[in-house]
Amino acid sequence: MDILTLVGLIAGVSVVALAILAGSDLGAFMNLPGLAIVVFGTFSVTLIKYRLHSVKEAFALAVRTAFTDRTVSPVVLVGQVRELANLVRKEGILGLEDYQTDEPYLRKAINLAVDGHPPEFIDEALLQEMQQTLERYDVAERVFRGIGDSAPALGMLGTLVGLVQMLNNMADPGSIGPAMAVALLTTFYGALIAQLVALPLADKLQLKAVEAQRNMMVVHVSMLNIMKGQNPRLMTELLSAYLTPEQRGKLQPEANR
């Protein structure tokens, strides 16, 4: 579980709640009609922009990315593919058959190689898998960025509705202040949903896509070079391009053994 996502969400909600409690009570910030305008309005706009299955996949992918998925360190991945290269040099490509890994993309690459497919087919299959994975992340990111754009706009729309209703009741000056507060709450809801939930999740999905692409490129390049019989040490030098200087320092002692 990505504990920092949960910590950040709790911290954000806590800061807003404490700011509210410092000057009033939470009940003053509860307005069900305004909340309905923002939530259901934003959901409706999202359904207009995207297909229902894309929205479902986006939410499922966002939850996995934010709370459950953990990206394998590229240092660990490079170490694994170096083991594969050494194994192939000793036992041949069939020596990979019993190799165990929790990385799905690496497992697929190993299965394709063990099944005896030519390098050209493996290259195409892995590229297709990478493309489809990145496309899913891209769609999910656009869904949440759309929510981040729509929620404040729907909040402003709710505010305008509240202002019109307030202006229609100007005969009672004492009701203007409370009515204005209720009208502004929809803008508050829209900004809260966008800035605390939708846009951070969109950024998280973007980061996850970058990390996934990097790891898949490590596997892709490695498997093709393994099938060409490239020296494991040279392959490690090639893969170091995907590592930061700090990560290369962690890998170097193993590479020189």
What pLDDT digit, counting tens, does each position of 78-137 carry?
888 888 888 888 888 888 888 888 888 999 999 998 888 888 999 999 999 999 999 999
What pLDDT digit, counting tens, does each position of 70-83 carry?
778 888 888 888 88
Side-chain-side CA neighbours of residue 57 (13 Å): 14
> Are 243 and 135 found together in one domain?
yes
Residues counted in the chain? 257
> Are 37 and 23 found together in one domain?
no
The whole domain housing 229 covers 32-75+118-255
Confidence at residue 252, expressed as pLDDT on a 0 to 100 scale: 55
Side-chain-side CA neighbours of residue 6 (13 Å): 6
Establish if 159 belongs to a structural domain.
yes
The number of folded domains in the chain is 2
Helix segments in 97-231, DSSP class H? 104-114, 119-167, 176-193, 199-227
173 vs 237: which has the higher pLDDT: 237
Q: Which of these ranges, 55-59, 113-117, 163-167, has the smallest mean pLDDT?
A: 163-167
Residue 232 has pLDDT above 90, yes or no: no
257 burial (CB, 10 Å; 0-12 / 13-18 / 19+) is: exposed
Question: Which residue from 63, 44, 40 is spatially nearest to 140, judged by alpha carbons?
Answer: 63
Establish if 82 belongs to a structural domain.
no
> Are 65 and 21 found together in one domain?
no
Establish if 90 belongs to a structural domain.
no
> Are 124 and 20 found together in one domain?
no
Residue with structure tokens 């990097």?
A: 214
Establish if 244 belongs to a structural domain.
yes
Distance (Å, whole) CA 155 – CA 162: 11
> Are 42 and 58 found together in one domain?
yes
> Are 205 and 236 found together in one domain?
yes
User: Average of pLDDT values for 7-21?
Assistant: 87
Establish if 127 belongs to a structural domain.
yes
> Are 183 and 240 found together in one domain?
yes
Q: What is the pTM of this model?
A: 0.84
> Are 219 and 249 found together in one domain?
yes
Establish if 96 belongs to a structural domain.
no
Residue 195 has pLDDT above 70, yes or no: yes
Question: Which residue from 199, 91, 80 is spatially nearest to 144, judged by alpha carbons?
Answer: 199
> Are 154 and 171 found together in one domain?
yes
Distance (Å, whole) CA 127 – CA 135: 12
> Are 138 and 177 found together in one domain?
yes
Residue 70 neighbours by CB distance under 10 Å: 7
Establish if 113 belongs to a structural domain.
no
In angstroms, the Cα distances linking 120 to 82, 110, 112, 116, 197 are: 21, 15, 11, 12, 43
Here the tokens at position 71 are 């990206």
> Are 122 and 234 found together in one domain?
yes
In angstroms, the Cα distances linking 170 to 28, 65, 173, 175, 248 are: 22, 50, 6, 8, 69
Residue 46 neighbours by CB distance under 10 Å: 20
In this structure, which amino acid lies at residue 94? L
Establish if 86 belongs to a structural domain.
no
> Are 177 and 208 found together in one domain?
yes
